[in-house]
Amino acid sequence: MTSALLARAAELDARDPLRAYRDRFVGSDDPEVVAYLDGNSLGRPLRASAERINAFVTGAWGGRLIRGWDEQWFDLPITIGDMLADTVLGAAPGQTTIGDSTTVLLYKLARGAIALRPERTEIVVDRDNFPTDRYILESIAQDHGSTLRWIEPDPRGGVGVEQLAAVVSERTALVVLGHVAYRSGYLLDAAAAALVTHDAGALLLLDLCHSVGSVPLELDSWAVDLAVGCTYKYLNGGPGSPAFGYVRAEHQDRFRQPIWGWMGRDQPFAMAQGYEPAQGIRQLISGTPPILGMLAIQDTLALIGEVGMAAVRAKSLALTEYSLDLTRELLVPLGVEIGSPTDPERRGGHIIIDHPRFAEITGKLWQRGVIPDFRPPEGLRIGLSPLSTGFGETAAGILAIRDELLA
């Protein structure tokens, strides 16, 4: 059975139009890593990024020194923000910048958003939203005296538009939802969520951490108000690479974020008295942005530009479908349950499977070079980064999970 299964995986790899791109990643030929199934938590680096970072240290930083700020770095957060907008966000220029972490940017965007609806007292969020999102909103609610209205989604699915419609009202200032749920992989119908939110007169802030670079996005046409997302997952920016923030053009005149720093001031080098926000999206910046951390993102954006998001999504769906097939065949008979949507329209780039022994097995898998993520209480999350993950690798990973369950 195993050999037939591996032959089928080899056939899928041979037919994969994105197969060759996998070789562009550092470590794709490392025999110690049998299956990297966590590229949605920390993407692999591209070889081009190793070169770019090295060249930056010796050239732009070591050679141009402080002059680099005038020559390039001052505008880099906006330049890369526009590249991101164009390549993966479905957004016109001038609405996206990078810097800070997702956590901090989420705080800035959420505070700015509720200040746009001063007469409203409620923020809507769901229980399965990523912890940092829930905690940041708890902190804002406490400071601001707002009330959190919690949606309780199906843990194996996500927030349905009917559920959202049932909680929003004339009291809602802001709705904060994950686009792809970090645990179940459920893909929200973002355009419908925006419609329901706007019908209630509220604003929608989407967290795109688990969708950007794996699911095609159309922020402008979906009419999303604000968005945030990280760049070290499917965008392979490297550990701690800065997050991006999107503020829809129509809100930018009235929008004010709460951390007033010199780098987001109009004419920062005038060192003037009194804060005046910079024009446009630049106002979202607070302090000196992490230039080194922005380098690698550009290589993944160039690669996605070459391949196109439609091809990335097609491969992503093929990988998740294949993992579900293998799970049904090899793991469900051993008591494993599927915790992700089986409908491809509602599924992002990863799946999660549940079994009471997964907490114990994860360490053993890591030791044998099979690297998924454990998510409590008993979930093994299988991340399938479309540009760097192969079908043979996926099959080897799921076979190893079966072996550990049988051991």
Active-site positions read 130, 207, 232-233, 381
- The 3-class secondary structure across 356-404, one letter per residue, is CCHHHHHHHHHHCCEECEEECCCEEEEECCCCCCCHHHHHHHHHHHHHH
* The binder of ligand PLP chosen from 38, 122, 128, 133 (CB under 6 A): 133
Establish if 259 lies at the interface with ligand PLP (CB under 6 A).
no
- If the CB atoms of residues 133 and 354 are measured against ligand PLP, the closer one turns out to be 133
* The binder of ligand PLP chosen from 45, 81, 99, 178 (CB under 6 A): 178
* The binder of ligand PLP chosen from 24, 48, 53, 103 (CB under 6 A): 103
Q: Which of residues 305-364 bind ligand PLP (CB under 6 A)?
A: none
Establish if 210 lies at the interface with ligand PLP (CB under 6 A).
yes
CB of 296 closer than 8 Å to CB of 236:
yes
Q: Are strands 350-354 and 370-371 parallel, antiparallel or unpaired?
A: unpaired
Establish if 130 lies at the interface with ligand PLP (CB under 6 A).
yes
- If the CB atoms of residues 189 and 207 are measured against ligand PLP, the closer one turns out to be 207
* The binder of ligand PLP chosen from 5, 47, 69, 101 (CB under 6 A): 101
Q: Which of residues 216-235 bind ligand PLP (CB under 6 A)?
A: 230
Type of residue found at 317:
L
* The binder of ligand PLP chosen from 16, 126, 128, 207 (CB under 6 A): 207
H helix or E strand, kind and range, residue 318: helix 309-326
For residue 118, the minimal CB distance to ligand PLP (Å) is 27
Cis status of the peptide bond prior to 377, with omega within 30 of 0:
yes
Q: For 178, what's the count of Cα atoms within 13 Å in the CB-facing half-sphere?
A: 30
CB of 218 closer than 8 Å to CB of 208:
no
The stretches of 66-177 forming alpha helices (DSSP H) are 67-71, 76-84, 102-115, 131-144, 161-167
- If the CB atoms of residues 118 and 376 are measured against ligand PLP, the closer one turns out to be 376
Cite the beta strand spans of 129-217 per DSSP E.
147-151, 172-178, 203-207
CB of 281 closer than 8 Å to CB of 250:
no
For residue 41, the minimal CB distance to ligand PLP (Å) is 7
CB of 258 closer than 8 Å to CB of 43:
no
> In this chain, which stretch among 58-66, 202-210, 364-372, 376-384 interacts with ligand PLP, using CB under 6 A?
202-210
User: Where on the chain is the footprint of ligand PLP (CB under 6 A)?
Assistant: 101-103, 130, 132-133, 178, 182, 207, 209-210, 230, 243
